[in-house]
Chains A and B, each alone.
Chain A
Amino acid sequence: MIPELGEYALILAFVLALAQAVFGLGGAYFQHRSWMEALTPTVTGVWVCMAASFGCLTYAFVTHDFSVAYVANNSNVALPLLYRVAAVWGAHEGSLLLWILILATWALAVALCSSTLPAAFRARVLGVLGLIAVGFLSFTIATSSPFLRLIPAALDGADLNPILQDPALAAHPPILYMGYVGTAVAFAFAVAAMLSGQMDAAWARWTRPWTVMAWLFLTIGIALGSWWAYYELGWGGWWFWDPVENASFMPWLTATALIHSLAVTEAKGLFKSWTLLLAIFAFSLSLLGTFLVRSGVLVSVHAFASDPSRGLFILGLLLFFIVGSLALYAVRASALKTNTGFSLVSRESFLLLNNALLVAAAALILTGTLWPLFMDAFNLGKISVGPPYFNVVFLIPTLPLIALLGVGMHAGWTRAMLGSKRTALIGIAGGAALVAAFVALGCYGSARLLTIVGFTAGFFVIGSSSWFVLHRLLVKQHLKRAAFGMALAHAGVGVLVIGVTGVSAYKVEKDLSLAPGETAQIADYSFEYMGALPVAGPNYDAIEGRVVIRKHDVRVDELTTQKRIFRAQHQPMTQAGISVGWSRDLFVALGEDLGAGKWSMRIQYKPLVRFIWLGALIMALGGLIAVMDRRYRSAAKGA
């Protein structure tokens, strides 16, 4: 009964989303005031139906309703409650449901916070969001309903994919989807602007806070995913350049470019057509990511559900939204006047470079991700493009980007204003190089050129951002929230760069075979293997190994690492033991049983790895502070 209610709510949501699209786009086109006024209740209705539908599926999971095929495939009587709730989005059908619920949530937020926008513009934005909801709801109802019954019902479920049985499953997908789907809001604003012909600074000011919100969710979501892969897959890697990771990273790069481009459009009315294009790209890449992950055209270590027949449907949606909006762009943008006129060292030109480099990075990643697919499609042979390509190619645009970032935020609009600040910046850069050399040679005792460059760039960005804040506070005695948030986010980039540089240059990874009582020496640490014992979890059996870590004979930590065999699927999983610290992580993972008490072990020393995720969190915090700037709040309150 409850699953049928869920299906019913889903169909109702579809009908209401259709109404939302018609009221929004039709209302604005025909100037029907009553249609446009009906939008808030309609959007609320879509949200209530989606929440109800989502609640019904959650209920089916919590109560072990194995007469629902999706539940039977992704849950188990022994599955703990937290994972039963999170298992709702553990596979294709449910994650699609979550996707649409989040879209409805964004639409509701736009409907409630946009009372100051011109009525027709607001109607178009909500209409476009309704149209996207219609597309994805029809996809869910036609090909991927999570409420299909299993007759006869299963006695027990096949269990959730063991890789997903981790507390991070509760947080990572919803936050990442908030980011993914959030790009739909910027897209809807862009399409509304093109439909209405109002593509000016006001449009950019309305779009900016929404874009930053989506961006900050995307930032946290990606960081969470990286952290999860780090400890869960048992490989100790924090980024693999896997297609699924790239699928989330490309919208992030584009959204980052969009935030900066919107800043120029808002302040100076420049880059108008480029900003529109970026807003379309950010959402297009989000959709493309969904398509690549869900259709199974690419192989990924994170792809948990794929089906080519569904792929065609998503491809249809993809083409409709992207080609549709790009065609609209072709008509509207060519009518825009391009007005140029800023000097070489102005903030505009720095932001232009920022955009060019970010988009180049996204394009290089897109090429690398899709290249194997093209080769395969045209029978040119099977290749895989992996870290060797991405690591090199990604550095080419990002190194100059980071160097420019530290300088660019001090440049004034329109004309060269760097003059007085030049000396200070050179000083900061020199100081950063000294600190970098000290850290590399003093703390780690060796350095390649790229390591020094990386550290210098990181410290320079942090120093430059701090000086930006101090200068505003002490000299100008005035610091806007938006400016502080911007500086903080940039400092976060610096922290992240330091982390990436440190872990890339100084990590030590060893695969060893150890018998109980044997010790391995890695970096300054000695790892003593104490032996392994069987332990039982709620839905798995495990062998748990214990390792005591000492540094110069002083006990540092004791780690446990497990090799788990999940009972329902007989799939082995490794649970790594990690000793966390500011300056380093120590990582131990149990490998294979070599007999006679011996085990193969993966032991890793990861210097500064925490700074990667810390940097991402600082960036997101900076974004959050920036959107709370008075200028956006007063706009929301009706100024």
Chain B
Amino acid sequence: MKWRYSLPAVLFLALGCVFYFTLTKIGRGTLDVREIPSPLIGKPAPHFVLPSLLGPTQLIDSNIWRGQTYLLNVWGSWCEGCKEEHSTLIALARVAGVPLIGMAWKDDHASAEAMLTEMGNPYSAVVADDEGRVAIDFGVYGAPETFLIGADGTILVKHVGAMSDTVWRSTFAPKIRNGASR
């Protein structure tokens, strides 16, 4: 038997091992193929001036949070994942130790307000990005997304998808502790 005829089988077996390896990583939750790192991490958070959702005549300038670490949560009443994470956010608002800012993304003001009245309001302020312009600056491609922005105004963490206790403990909490010790 000439060895070169075995080459395809050997090559494919190797490929199979890589697939197995990848699948087990996904299964254990150590690899998320959908997670794309934001090029914004470590970069200054985009500046914005947007109307407040709860007081439409009032404009909120993102510079007012300069000097403190805060969370920016992009959500919408039309988004199922946002409803799913809402109770987590309400619990976090009490224990996180940092302000939680909501950004209602391309949402109808009335139904966004109704959702906060019905399910509770975890946010210390909510801005309304009706046209999605600011969300584009932040590189948002689906709701919900949550950003952790440091005291120096740089983006520390970006999470795509619903917030959960696990996500909070594994990715957000360590960064907040680091930020506080610095």
Give me the interface of A with B, judged by CB distance under 8 Å. Answer: 273, 277, 280, 284, 291, 295-299, 308-309, 311-312, 315, 318-319, 322-323, 326-327, 329-331, 333-335, 370, 373-374, 376-377, 382, 384, 570, 592, 594-595
Contact = CB atoms under 8 A, between A and B. Distances in A.
Given A319-B16, A377-B25, A592-B132, A330 B31 contact: no
B1 A298 contact: no
B85 to A, nearest CB: 16
Contact of B19 (A315, A323, A329, A595): A315
A312 B24 CA distance: 8
Contacts of B78: 570
Contacts of A333: 5
Nearest to A571: B78
B26 A297 contact: yes
B97 interface: no
Interface in B1-51: 1-2, 5-6, 8-9, 12-13, 15-16, 18-27, 31, 33-37
B131 interface: yes
B23 A308 contact: yes
Interface of B: 1-2, 5-6, 8-9, 12-13, 15-16, 18-27, 31, 33-37, 78-80, 130-132
15 contacts: A291-B19, A296-B26, A312-B24, A315-B20, A322-B12, A323-B13, A326-B12, A334-B1, A335-B1, A376-B22, A376-B33, A377-B21, A592-B132, A594-B131, A595-B131
Q: Which of A280, A319, A373, A595 has the most CB of B within 10 A?
A: A319
A370 B24 CA distance: 17
Nearest to A384: B36
A613 B80 CA distance: 38
Contacts of A284: 12
Is the contact region of chain A dominated by helix, strand, or loop, or is it mixed? helix
Contact of B22 (A297, A309, A319, A331): A297
B22 A373 contact: yes
A374 B23 contact: no
Nearest to B28: A308
Q: Which of B16, B24, B79 has the most CB of A within 10 A?
A: B16
A72 B25 CA distance: 31
Nearest to A312: B23
Nearest to A288: B15
A222 B132 CA distance: 35
Contacts of A318: 16, 19
Contacts of A384: 36
A594 to B, nearest CB: 6
Contacts, number: 87
Q: Which of B20, B21, B130 has the most CB of A within 10 A?
A: B20
Q: Which of B5, B24, B79 has the most CB of A within 10 A?
A: B5
Contacts of A592: 131-132
A335 to B, nearest CB: 8
Contacts of A315: 16, 19-20, 23
B32 to A, nearest CB: 9
Contact of A273 (B1, B5, B21, B24): B5
A298 B33 contact: yes
A382 B34 CA distance: 10
A319 B132 CA distance: 47
Given A329-B5, A376-B31, A323 B12 contact: yes
A327 B26 contact: no
Contacts of B6: 327, 330
A441 to B, nearest CB: 40
Contacts of B26: 296-297, 308, 311
Contacts of B80: 570
A334 B2 contact: yes
Nearest to B23: A311
A237 B25 CA distance: 34
Nearest to B106: A592
Q: Which 4 A-B pairs have the closest CB atoms?
A: A326-B9, A330-B6, A308-B26, A334-B5
A315 B13 CA distance: 11
Contact of A326 (B8, B19, B27, B31): B8
B33 A319 contact: no
Contacts of A273: 5
Nearest to B9: A326
Contacts of A311: 19, 23, 26
A295 B21 CA distance: 13
Contacts of B15: 370
A594 B23 CA distance: 43
A311 B19 CA distance: 9
A323 B12 CA distance: 7
A576 B79 CA distance: 24
B33 A299 contact: yes
